[in-house]
Amino acid sequence: MPLITDPALGPIGEKVSRNERLTRDDALVLFNSSDLLTIGRLADVANRRANGDRVYFAANQHINPTNVCVLRNTCVFCSFARMPQEAGAYTRSLEEVFAEADAARDNPTREFHIVGGLHPKLRLAYYLDMFRGLQARHPGVHIKALTAVEVAHLARLERMSVRDVLIALRDAGVTSLPGGGAEVFSPAARATIADKKLSGEEWLAVHREAHRLGIPSNCTMLYGHVETMADRVDHLLALRALQDETSGFLTYIPLAYHPDHNELGEALGRTGTATTGCDDLKNIAVGRLVLDNIPHVKTHWPMVTPFISQVALTFGCDDLEGTVVFERVYHEAGAGTPMWLGYDQVVSLIRGAGKQPVERDSLYRTVRTFKDWASTDPGRKPGVPGVPGVRPQGPEGPTFQISHRPRARARGQRELPVLSAVDGAE
Ligand code: SF4
């Protein structure tokens, strides 16, 4: 039986075995190939070279201080944002944020992941007070906070430079930036899904500035909407070029578009899951192969399910995200996954894939290895994953409830024009 079913992958396989950089054409061949197992094997080679059998995860907690966003009506793929007076709009006081973060006291939390909407009135001081307060209350927890889009928004509000905003964030305790807001850099796709958002160039410029200041960051690509294969490739190449310049990216995370409760999903006539398991795995694998200079590739299990994420660990992925207490943004868009996983469940998923779990902090420093670890779940056999469909125990109360947006048509909003680029998406 031939090892490679798509002959076009042969020369790419030879380059991977020589540890040679892939070209734009190579990346296009990979995205257009249906020989998923070969692509996965090549990515596994590249990943093992860098990370061996280690798979990282974080004990982390997500905090979304506000869902009010000035771009609510133009980021048509987003299900999270609300206008200030819209049903479901919320903005947490600092006391409420601190109370939410207190869940960390009962968990082995090492990272707060803090992102939210572009609120027209929340000023930089609110965020600086939040970060200082969190640092004082939870000195052992890293603060990974504010996407490039939020940083640029605050710079505009305060009439400050991006650099000065970043310095203020760093001085208040932010240790790294998350990778959100990149979507896909293609101006055409961006004009359709996120017309008024920071451009790709501007997103990259914020991260460049952060890296120059010694603030590492993550990077992402949102796929499965209107983007073409060429858009995906050019996005990855832009990330790779910036990494060549700064070495500031820690990890790349492909993000699967979810179509529920947003205008784009309605215009495309999609509900449920917009991406396929094959495309989810291919995005992990091609990311690993093209981004040869970014140390880690992370699978975001709330979007693609813990099961796909577990399989991704043999498709070039070396990071299973974490406990993610409590994921709101993608569940607003219809993600059917749990809103968090127990620490044991994450470890068991990694072990079940035959890999070595490594708990990390935000900067990928080792917190714990698990050579002598035994699950605290008395009913579970060693190496057998937990049951991710079962909601584990976690915080309860109004803060942790989601009320979905009504359909756009029901609210009498404009409908999107015909989306001519849709054929490019899988
Ligand atoms: S994607 Fe971000 S910037 Fe766009 S509407 Fe949603 S929260 Fe706002």
DSSP states of 14-40: HHHHTTPPP-HHHHHHHHH---HHHHH
Ligand 1 centroid distance, CA of 81 (Å):
6
> Coil, helix or strand for 73?
coil
Q: How confident is the model at residue 245 (pLDDT cuts 50, 70, 90)?
A: very high
CA of 93: how far to CAs of 110, 124, 133, 332, in Å?
23, 14, 12, 21
Q: Across the chain, what does the average pLDDT equal?
A: 88
CB of residue 347 inside a 6 A radius of ligand 1:
no
CB of residue 117 inside a 6 A radius of ligand 1:
yes
Tell which atom from ligand 1 comes closest to the C-alpha of 74. Answer: 5
pTM of whole model > 0.85?
yes
Return the pLDDT at 426: 26
Ligand 1 centroid distance, CA of 377 (Å):
39
Q: Which of 166, 53, 179 is nearest to 113 (CA)?
A: 179
CB of residue 69 inside a 6 A radius of ligand 1:
yes
Q: Are the beta carbons of 33 and 4 closer than 8 angstroms?
A: no
CB of residue 149 inside a 6 A radius of ligand 1:
yes
> Burial letters for 25-37: b for 16+ Cβ neighbours within 10 Å, e otherwise?
ebbbbbbebebbe
Ligand 1 centroid distance, CA of 392 (Å):
29
Q: How confident is the model at residue 394 (pLDDT cuts 50, 70, 90)?
A: low
Q: Are the beta carbons of 198 and 148 closer than 8 angstroms?
A: yes
Return the pLDDT at 317: 98
Tell which atom from ligand 1 comes closest to the C-alpha of 71. Answer: 5
Q: How far is 237 from 217, CA to CA, in rounded Å?
A: 17
Which is higher by pLDDT, 215 or 374? 215
Q: How many H-runs (helices) and E-runs (strands) does the chain carry?
A: 15, 11
CA of 349: how far to CAs of 44, 323, 340, 379, in Å?
18, 12, 14, 15
- Where do we find the tokens 């093992």? 48
CA of 218: how far to CAs of 176, 178, 371, in Å?
8, 5, 28
What are the pLDDT digits (tens) for 310-369? 999 999 999 998 888 777 776 776 677 777 788 888 999 999 999 999 999 999 999 999
Tell which atom from ligand 1 comes closest to the C-alpha of 118. Answer: 8
Q: How far is 91 from 84, CA to CA, in rounded Å?
A: 9
Q: How confident is the model at residue 2 (pLDDT cuts 50, 70, 90)?
A: low
Q: Please name every residue paired with 222 in a beta bridge, in sequence order, or none if there are none.
A: 255
Q: Which two tokens stand for residue 91?
A: 């903005």
Q: How far is 207 from 249, CA to CA, in rounded Å?
A: 9
Ligand 1 centroid distance, CA of 332 (Å):
12
Q: How confident is the model at residue 422 (pLDDT cuts 50, 70, 90)?
A: very low
CB of residue 75 inside a 6 A radius of ligand 1:
yes
Ligand 1 centroid distance, CA of 52 (Å):
37
378, pLDDT greater than 60: no
Return the pLDDT at 14: 96
Which domains, from first to last, does the chain contain? 21-373 (3.20.20.70)
Ligand 1 centroid distance, CA of 279 (Å):
24
Q: How far is 168 from 292, CA to CA, in rounded Å?
A: 32
Query: Which residue has its alpha carbon closest to ligand 1 atom 3?
Result: 71
